[in-house]
Amino acid sequence: MQKFSGILHELIENALEGKKSNIDFIMSRLNKNSSLPMTRYIDFAISLVQNEEGINRLEYYLFYGSLIQRNYCSLFFNRRGDWPIVKKAYQQGLIDEIQAFAR
């Protein structure tokens, strides 16, 4: 993997470790004041999460996070092909139709 520096490096390292606290670190940077570059960094970083603990924590944010956190978690699960979990969040009104089918 290419070497990155700064916050992107931090986000990637946290995503690769994938523990609950790592995912919390990443998601805490995703809020209504996040810059466009930061949202892209976060989107890239969470795409690297592969372990069960990290995936479970992203599922938590899909159901209990802020709107922007739910949207990015929806993208994560859509890209993985985890349709049942996205459908469940959609049926609960946590994400809109556009987000439910976005990739």
pLDDT of residue 2: 61
Query: Residue 1: inside a domain, yes or no?
Result: no
**Total residues found in the chain within this entry:** 103
Q: How many domains does the chain have?
A: 1
Query: Residue-wise pLDDT tens for the chain (103 aa)?
Result: 568 889 999 999 999 999 999 999 999 999 999 999 999 999 999 999 999 999 999 999 999 999 999 999 999 999 999 999 999 999 999 998 877 777 6
Range of the domain at 77: 6-100
Report d(CA 76, CA 82) in Å as an integer: 9
Q: How far is CA 32 from CA 28, 61, 70, 103, in A?
A: 11, 15, 12, 21
Query: Residue 46: inside a domain, yes or no?
Result: yes
Q: Which residues of 80-100 are buried (b: 16+ CB within 10 A; e: fewer)?
A: eebeebbeebbeeebbeeebb
Provide CB contacts within 8 A for 22, sequence distance 6+: 14, 15, 54
**pTM recorded for the entire structure:** 0.91
pLDDT of residue 67: 94
pLDDT of residue 4: 81
Q: How far is CA 100 from CA 50, 92, 93, 97, in A?
A: 21, 11, 10, 5
Query: Residue 94: inside a domain, yes or no?
Result: yes
pLDDT of residue 88: 96
